[in-house]
Amino acid sequence: MGLLSNRTGKETLKAGDHVYSWRAAWVYAHHGIYVGDDKVIHFTRGRDQEVGTGTVIDFLLVSSGPTRSTTPCLVCSSNDATAAMEANGVTSSCLSCFLAGGALYRFEYAVNPALFLAKARGGTCTLASTDPAELVVRRANYLLSNGFRCYSLFKNNCEDFAIYCKTGLLVAEQGSVGLGQSGQAVSIIGGPLAAVVSTPFRLVTTNIYGMAVMAVGVYCVSRYAGDIGNRRDVLKVEVEDLTAGLASSRIRPANISQLATPGQVQDPVVTTPVAA
């Protein structure tokens, strides 16, 4: 893992890798799971499923999905794949279509805390450990057939999908301002938060360098505390339980805690059930 970049080559990929590619001037990245044979399973906005913020941020982050080419891909285009994507948002593409002309990066797991903090941009690594590659690929293929809940920009996006496939972890409680597992979502929120929190310190010092250090510190703390490897509101949920009895992946976040039996819950754990 590089300090400034996780860029990698196609020849280094292994089935079960979490890959991503930056979109639209590095504003946002699209994430997926490489399953071998030049295929990537990823989560996009299905028909009638997007839940955004209702602000200009939705316009800025519209590049979360791959760019649509005017020429159909002879490798991965099919009516069945298109119908599946429109129904639940989870689709399988060849690596070239997934990258949509962008560079290939590999998301890193179980990174050292110091290295995590050194990576100023969220959505590139996590403190959490990954499950075995075979289990990761099985989850991705299962969700390809059964869907992954309703798409939401901050609570349930492509990075949340990939992190779930890698770890089996889901956020148990998501309020109106809650976030999912996505590191880049935490990063987007962390910037304005750092500016707001550091503002009162202008009463203590007018030194611009001191203010900058304070803002950077608040930003780093928010990223570290919001990482899926540190959060206390996550549960281990089996993929079959996640999708059992649900139509078109529309699972209510408040019911996630009810899907996990005591044997499935790993530390950190939420002990109070979430009210429906």
Residue 90 bridge partners (DSSP): 43
Candidates 30, 76, 97, 165; catalytic one: 30
Q: Which of 9, 32, 265 is nearest to 166 (CA)?
A: 32
As a dihedral over the C-alpha atoms of residue 160, residue 171, residue 116, residue 187, rounded to 10 degrees, the angle is: 70
Q: Is 31 a catalytic residue?
A: no
Helices (H), the chain: 56-60, 79-88, 95-99, 113-118, 133-146, 158-167, 183-198, 208-226, 239-243, 256-259
Q: Is 30 tagged catalytic?
A: yes
CA 173 to chain centre: 16
Annotated catalytic residue 18:
no
Q: Which two tokens stand for residue 114?
A: 């110091």
Distance separating alpha carbons of residues 276 and 274, to the nearest angstrom = 6
Residue 175 region, left (φ>0) first, then alpha (ψ -120 to 50), else beta? beta
List 18, 42, 97, 165, catalytic entry = 42
Check 76, 125, 150, 158 and give the catalytic one: 158
Q: Which residues are catalytic?
A: 30, 42, 158
